[in-house]
Structure formats: C-alpha cells, structure tokens
Amino acid sequence: MSRPVFRFAPSPNGRLHLGHAFSAMLDHTLARAAGGRFLLRLEDVDVTRCRREWEDGIFEDLAWLGLDWDGEVRRQSAHFDAYAAALARLDAAGLLRPSHATRAEIRAAVARAEAEGRPWPRDPDGAPFPPDDDRHPRDDEPVARRLDMAAALSRVPPLDWREAGEGPMGETGRVAARPADWGDPVLARKETPSSYHLAVVVDDAAQGVTHVVRGRDLFWSTSVHRVLQTLLGLPAPVYLHHDLVRDATGRKLSKSAADTALASLRADGLTPADIRRLIGWGAVERRLDSLNESLTRSV
C-alpha cells in the first residue's frame, strides 16, 4: 500500500485553542505512527472571516507544540477554481438549485414559526432549513446555490463510511450516512464561492488524503461528504472522529473562548508539557496502539 496521508485543516479565523492542540497532536501522532505524511491545510474559503495574522498564529502554535508538517501548506483561497469546476460538474448534472432566502429572511421565518410554537427543521449543526419559497424563482440573483439532495440521492446508492473513531452515540465501524438530515446544503454563496463541504471533499481528494482525523462535531458532516465524493467520483478516506476537549463546565471549546487560546496560555508561562496535561494526552498515549490498529484495519 502507498504511504497514508493525514491532514490537519484549521480555519484561520481565530487563534488555535486547546481543542485544536488535541486534534493536531492526535493527527500528527497517528500519521507518524503509520509512517504517513502529515499535511497542513488552511480552510480559508470564508475570506470575510479569515486573516493573515491568524495564519501566522497557526504556524507559531504548531511549531511551539513541536508539530512539523510535510510539503507546502494548501490555502483553500488559492483553489477557488477547483471548487468552481466541481460545482460546474454538479450543475451540469442537474444537481444544484438556486437559493433565494437570505440569512435574515431565514431567521425571520424561524422566529415567526417558533413564536407560534411550531418547531422549525434544522440540519445536524443546528442551522435552520430555508423556508419553502427559497427555491421559487425571483427577479433578483440567488444568494446561494444548494445541492438538490433529493436529486442527488436518486443518483447514488445508500452510502456509508469507515469510522475508526466514534460518533456522538458511539457509532463506529461501517457507519451508514444520513445525508437527508442535511436538507439541501449550501455549496456556494454569492460572497463565498465554495462552502466548507465542497472544498473539503475536493481538497481531500486533490491532496490524496487517506485518513481524516477530526473532531466529533464534524461526524455527521461526513454524510454530505460521502454524497459529494460519490457524485464527483472521488475516493472515500477512512475517518476517525475524536472526542472534543471540554472546559471545566463541560462546554465544548470554541475559538472565541480566548482563555484556552494556546497563545494566551503560552503568555501565561505554560509549556507544551502543561498543554498535554490539560488535554489529557496521557490517556491518549495509552490508547495509541489500539487507535492506530483500528485506523489501519480494513473493515
């Protein structure tokens, strides 16, 4: 078998925090244990939120943790043409639909429904579905293009993926994808030529990624990724979704939780050894052999 390829793919829209440290260290350690390559990709498709200074922060924080990566860093903002080409293929196959409802209109529709006590459907990330008239033609330009999920699902067999980690309910091994839960996901917006889902699928294939190690918050996104991979004829990597690092109150860490930013902890005098202690790395090290074995086993 050729060399496995792993990647760490942060978005430069804030400083890295303890959760990123955990993800990057696990990814790097498993890649090296498998004799594989470890790539760094900057997911900066949302050019309105990403900044150059945060890219430099990512390099600095990874170096401080002692993590090295192979080859050139891939910046998604340099590959909008590749995402546009994938989008054009889906469009030519009749799998895209225009979306007219603005974020404000969706918010207003949700508020109206909820004020009347009607629950509003949401995707697994909690993002509300657009109202029904979203797909109706209007005079103005569409605000986004969405995957027509019903059309997409009529073209692919029931899909699954190989999970070497665990889902929120302990799902592991062969996991059946649940793409319908996502409604018609946005693939491109007026101001952002590619969504996360499309870019991640195109890039993992372009970079020959064989193993995706990432946080459990992205577990069900894999359903959409499997549909896009299948429609675009791209290979499916093996996935390992890991537990999220939580703060003392059990809340998932976010980039806005500045108190857990590696840069602030470093400024407070903490060392990389302190970081390993804070993220419970000792427990991971004891499980590394079994994690590695489950990643390389074929299911």
Q: Which residues bind ligand GLU (CB under 6 A)?
A: 9-11, 43, 200, 214, 218
Name residue 204's beta-bridge partners. none
**Distance between CA atoms of residues 200 and 281, nearest Å:** 27
CB of 103 to ligand GLU, least distance (A): 20
Look-up: residue for tokens 């260290």? 25
CB of 136 to ligand GLU, least distance (A): 33
Taking the least distance from each CB to ligand GLU, the nearer of 219 and 281 is 219
Taking the least distance from each CB to ligand GLU, the nearer of 109 and 199 is 199
CB of 299 to ligand GLU, least distance (A): 21
CB 231 within 8 A of CB 156: yes
Name residue 5's beta-bridge partners. 37
CB of 9 to ligand GLU, least distance (A): 4
CB of 1 to ligand GLU, least distance (A): 23
Taking the least distance from each CB to ligand GLU, the nearer of 97 and 189 is 189
Taking the least distance from each CB to ligand GLU, the nearer of 131 and 237 is 237
Taking the least distance from each CB to ligand GLU, the nearer of 58 and 109 is 58
